[in-house]
Amino acid sequence: MNLRSGRRLPGADGEVLALSQDMTTSREAFLRSLPAAVDHVAFRVDGGEIRPLDPHHQWRIVLEPMDDLVLGMIVLPRQHVEIFLTDCNADETKHFLARFELYFRRAGG
- The domains of the chain, with CATH numbers, are 15-104 (3.30.1370.80)
The pLDDT of residue 7: 43
Task: Please choose, from the candidates 63, 33, 66, 36, the residue with its C-alpha nearest in 3D space to the C-alpha of residue 51.
Answer: 63
35-91: pLDDT as tens digits:
999 999 999 999 999 999 998 899 999 999 999 999 999 999 999 999 999 988 999
The pLDDT of residue 108: 46
Instruction: Report, as an integer, the average pLDDT of 23-31.
Output: 95
Task: Please choose, from the candidates 73, 83, 74, the residue with its C-alpha nearest in 3D space to the C-alpha of residue 104.
Answer: 83
The pLDDT of residue 10: 54
The pLDDT of residue 25: 94
The pLDDT of residue 12: 60
